[in-house]
Amino acid sequence: MAVHLRLANVVKRFGPSVAVDGVSLEIEEGCFFTLLGPSGCGKTTLLRVVAGFHTPDAGDVFLRDRRITQLPPHARGTAMVFQEYALFPHMTVAENVAYGLRMRRVPPAQIRERVARVLELVGLTGQEGKYPHQLSGGQQQRVALARALVVEPEVLLLDEPLSNLDAKLRLRVREELRELQRRLGQTTVYVTHDQEEALALSDRVAVLNHGRILQVGTPEEVYRNPTSRFVAEFVGLANFVPGEVVSPGRVRAGRVELRVDGLRATPGGRVVLAVRPEEVRVCQDPPDTKPNVLRGRVRSATFLGPVRRLTVDAEGFSWVVDVRADEAVAPEAEVTLEVPAERLRVVEEEPEDTKTGGGGT
Amino acid sequence: MVLSGRARQQLLDPGIVLAFAVGAGTLVLFVLYPTLRVLAYPSLADYLAIPQSVRWVQAARNSLLTTALSTTTAVAVGLAFAFATTRPDVPGRRFFRAVALLPLFAPPFMVAFSYILLFGRQGLITRHLLGLDVNLFGLPGLWLVQTVAFFPLAMLVIVGVLEGLNPSLEYAARNLGADERSVLRTVTLALARPGIAGAALVVAISVLADFGNAVVIAGGMPLLATEAWFRMEGMADLQGASLVVALLMIPTTALFLAERYWVSRRRYTTVSGRGTRLEPLPTYPPLRWAVFTVCTAVSVLVLLVYLGVVAGAFTAVWGRDWSLTLEHFTLARDRVGSLWASLRVAAGAGGVTALAGVLLAFLTSRALPLRRALDFLAVLPGALPGVFVGVGFVLAFNQPPLELVGTPWVLVLALGFWHLPLGYQAAAAQLQQIDRSIEEAASNLGARGLRVLRDVYLPLLRRAFVEGFTVSFVRAVTNVSIAVFLVSPGNVVATFAILNMIGNGIWGGAAALTVLLLLVTFAVLGLARLGAARALRPTPVG
């Protein structure tokens, strides 16, 4: 599919702090693309650069092949849903939604028709005459979405749109949003700090930290194969094991030697290995002969509903391991951990020097 | 009446009952009674005869005309200043804000007086620098003077509204395809509209009731606010005076009620949860420069008000002998007694306002019967013109059992209760910020009734107290509209003395005494700021 939105080496500074530090991205048509990162990582700044609220200090923004870097916000066709919705309090639902069309000088009859259609789409038919303060949080959220969708934007921008909803509602609106986006084939850029939201919604995810993109991929790629310690930690939970490469496929970590599939680092190099808690297996009767088997003692066991989360001290490391909740594992129990060689991967430590700067959101 | 359990419990507390009796009693005596006295003084026939009196019809028409004109321009200027002070990219915004507050501290006649010195027949600027022959008396002069005197009120109201607007609304509008002018028209100004309407009502009340400027500069033009005093002074016509002020009260009360119960409810609080607040968008450049130009021009006019009076105080004979002199201050020194009288009266009034304000705010914040009536009486003085209150106190307290007219107390009480809404609303606003749970904690630990007020609220309300005292003091020390009715030979206040000197053409002396009065006012303001800062420090919550 064709590239719809492209960022080339975008840099944005606020005074001395660098909010966006050389970001390049390609977003395909119809893609639900998420910028994921902690607060202050530059994701919202990046979204505002796309919307035209900030002019980048360097780099360019392209819509299809058109360079829009210097275009004012109202000429871009990038409709945005704001975190706090930014509904016009002095306008009714219908007037809010019609606003963008009115500014585009669409004939009134057509405005009425399109407003009615989009309100139906978001399930707000019958609420046309109400004012924002008469609506619930979820309804306000839909008005904001309808207001952005009705102008048929090139790219829809969403800035943490679910963060003002309560947990139950957030889940429901999330599903609806995803369904709607698929149906319309609407190219969408979504900003969030919530990794679960990012995984559930996106076709592709870019993980940002300190104004830089650390990894781009499908939710599954990012979760299964994080390339850096930061990504592994921010998206999900991970155990990290520092070690030294002994030979291709073998790493010495403390007192044990671990097999790592596909490891091609040169012997003698220092690496950090990562493995997800649910990827580590707990065996009650130890098959001593298998590789990657560690003896340990359970320090704590926490019931979390679907899983039981264990902290296990084994071979000088503290491991977080998830087992099925119906497996009764008591604290102080002696256990054996099996770390599958195909699930261990090498991650990059984030260099210290990028951990300064940032600022803005 | 069915009382809630809470109310019944409070009615059993002797301290609360006593406080309630005192609060309600003073309101009835010093707010309701004088008001009713004025309204009941003329007979029905007098009221019905109003349309036949050419002079009163004329006065009413003039008052409404100047109100319409001055309100329009004052609100327009106030809007410009509000824009300038809320947009970070307008150059000089701090300066504009500081300058715009200056007229609020000047005695109400000062703008008029200074402009006569600068722009009148003998005006330093018009006559002696430009060689023009300008007559400032009458409608044009009054219009200009009231615009400069009252635009700060408009600014303060509109600033409150503009500051409440979430910048993201402007971003949203831009994002949806609106260019800069459309954003201004459809979002910014549209949202400010209730604020502008509120500002217009507040300014209109002040213009209608303005006595100080009118008496100095209106010349022969009859106006409602000054007519009452002419009736009383010239003809000892109490009937006529009360009729005029009653007539004046109708529009001011209507405006007041409209502001309080209609416009202020229509203000848009931007509905939003949390979210990063954006920097405001850059201001539309033509607007930025228009606002800058208007503010610069008006700032010059405001600064000239002060400069004119200071110049007048040091000039030998205005219009003829421009040599510098200190002689007016020796003349003013003879009137230093009046400055002391002003200070005593204003301090008394400030104390009355602050004390009554805190007490009443405490009472209306509880579940007591009649609290809405108390609340109404506590804000009612805001609807009354000063001349109305002046006439009201003359009528109410010039005979036994409460023969206060002739003593300084009548002035203290009249000014203190006239400014009551300022102290009451400041205290009520503070009370709203105090969490109920603090009081519940105190009761839980054994504090009851008034003890809750003393132990919990008073320390937290110290700031409201200082604020109520200061505002009331500043307005009392500069007041003329009430003072002209209630001064007695023993306690002439400075503003009254100045007004007399202006009337008698003793401009140098009037200017010198005004300068001294301003110095006192600013000194007290400075002290109050220190006091307020100290009152803030031990406050543990908001």
A325: helix, coil or strand?
coil
Cβ-nearest to B177 among A74, A163, A164? A74
A-to-B residue pairs, Cβ atoms closer than 8 angstroms: 97
| Strand-pair partners of A323 | A308
Whole-angstrom Cα distance, residue A288 to residue A321? 20
For residue A87, give the nearest of B177, B186, B271 by CB distance: B271
Side chain identity, residue B443: S
Q: What are phi and psi of A150, to 5 degrees?
A: -65, -25
**Pairing mode, strands A293-303 and A66-67:** unpaired
Neighbours of B133 (CB within 10 A): 9
Measure in Å the smallest separation between the Cα of B157 and chain A Cα atoms: 19
The alpha-carbon gap from A106 to the nearest alpha carbon of chain B, in Å, equals 12
Dihedral sign (CA A117, A120, A121, A122): positive
Q: Does A150 touch chain B (CB under 8 A)?
A: no
The encoded tokens of residue B488 equal 């007695």
Nearest by CB: B176 against A44, A79, A84: A79
At residue B30 the predicted structure's pLDDT band, cuts being 50, 70 and 90, is very high
DSSP summary character for residue B486: H
Interface test with B, best of A39, A71, A74 (most B CBs within 10 A): A74
Give CA–CA dist B478/B103, Å, rounded.
11
Name the nearest CA neighbour of B110 among B262, B256, B309, B291. Answer: B309
Task: Please tell me the least confidently modeled range out of A80-84, B210-214, B335-339.
Answer: B335-339
Counting every residue, how long is chain B?
A: 542
| CB-based contact, A265 to chain B, within 8 Å | no
| Closest to B380 (Cα-Cα) out of B42, B35, B64, B24 | B35
Q: Does the distance separating the beta carbons of A83 and B276 come in below 8 Å?
A: yes
Residue B296 has pLDDT above 60, yes or no: yes
Contact A164 B171 (CB under 8 A): no
A82 close contact with B: CB closer than 8 A: yes
Residue A221 has pLDDT above 90, yes or no: yes
Q: pTM (2 decimals)?
A: 0.82
Q: Cβ contact (<8 Å) for B276 and A361?
A: yes
Does the CB of A192 have a partner CB in chain B at under 8 Å? no
| A62-120 per-position pLDDT tens digit | 999 899 999 999 888 899 999 888 899 889 999 999 999 999 999 999 999 999 999 99
Residue A10 is inside which H or E element, if any?
Answer: strand A3-14
Work out the average pLDDT over B462-488: 87
Q: Quick one: closest CA in B to A81, which residue?
A: B172
The DSSP secondary-structure symbol of B398 reads S
Question: What's residue B449's pLDDT?
Answer: 65
B236 CB-near residues (< 8 Å, 6+ apart): none
Flag whether pLDDT at A173 surpasses 50: yes
pLDDT exceeds 60 at position B195: yes
Give residue B104's pLDDT. Answer: 87
Q: Among candidates B506, B485, B518, B486, which has minimal Cα distance to B406? A: B486
Residue A270 pLDDT: 87
Residue B264 identity:
S
Is the Cβ pair B275, A44 closer than 8 Å?
no
Q: Which residues contact B150 (CB under 8 A, 6 or more apart)?
A: B70, B71, B74, B103, B203, B206, B207, B210
pLDDT value for B260:
79
Segment A213-219 shows an average pLDDT of: 95
User: What value does the mean pLDDT take over residues A313-333?
Assistant: 87
Question: From CA B294, how far away is CA B199, in angstroms rounded?
Answer: 18
d(CA B357, CA A355): 55
- Segment B324-331 shows an average pLDDT of 82
Average pLDDT over chain B, rounded to an integer: 84
- CA dist list (Å): A150 to A139, A145, A188, B425, B495: 16, 9, 14, 45, 64
Per-residue model confidence (pLDDT) at position B9: 58
Mean pLDDT lowest among A117-121, B36-40, B52-56 = B52-56
Work out the minimum CA distance from B426 to partner chain A, whole angstroms. Answer: 27
Q: Does A79 touch chain B (CB under 8 A)?
A: yes
A249-271 pLDDT, tens digit per residue, is 889 888 888 888 888 777 888 88
Share of chain A above pLDDT 70, in %: 95
Judging contacts by C-beta atoms under 8 Å, the chain B residues touching residue A44 are 276
A 155-174: CB under 8 A from B: 160, 163-164
Q: Does B268 touch chain A (CB under 8 A)?
A: yes
Per-residue pLDDT at A355: 42
pLDDT of residue B11: 57
- CB contact (8 A) between residue A74 and residue B176: yes
Cα–Cα dist A16/A275, whole Å: 37
Looking at residue A289, its pLDDT comes to 65
Assess B279–A contact: CB distance below 8 Å, yes or no.
Answer: no
Residue type, B344: R
Best B161, B165, B174, B175 member to test A by mutation, with max A CBs in 10 Å, is B175
The whole-number pLDDT of residue B446 equals 67
* Residues from chain A contacting residue B278 (CB–CB below 8 Å): 53
What is the pLDDT at residue A357? 38
Determine contact: A111 vs chain B, CB below 8 A: no
Segment A264-288 mean pLDDT = 82
Q: Is pLDDT above 50 for A241?
A: yes
Does any CB of chain B come closer than 8 Å to the CB of residue A86?
Answer: yes
> Cα distance from A256 to chain B (closest Cα, Å)?
48
Six-digit token pair at B83? 């824009």
- Please give the order of strands across the beta sheet that includes A345-347: A256-259, A250-253, A239-247, A270-275, A345-347
- The predicted pLDDT at position A219 comes to 95
* Lowest mean pLDDT segment, chosen from A95-104, A347-356, B364-373, B515-524: A347-356
pLDDT of the residue at B459: 73
**Cis peptide leading into A277, omega within 30 of 0?**
no
pLDDT for A163 equals 85
Tokens describing residue B533 = 């800062």
User: Residue B538: is its pLDDT beyond 50?
Assistant: no
Distance CA A194, CA B254 (A): 54
- If one compares B520 and B260, the residue with the highest pLDDT of the two is B520
A1 pLDDT tier (thresholds 50, 70, 90): low
**Is the confidence at residue B151, as pLDDT, over 90?**
yes
Q: Which residues of A touch B189 (CB under 8 A)?
A: none
Mean of per-residue pLDDT scores for chain A:
89
| 8 A C-beta contact, residue B91 and residue B103 | no
ipTM: 0.81
Tokens standing for residue A172: 């429901």
Q: Using CB atoms, which residue from A73, A103, A164 is nearest to B182?
A: A103
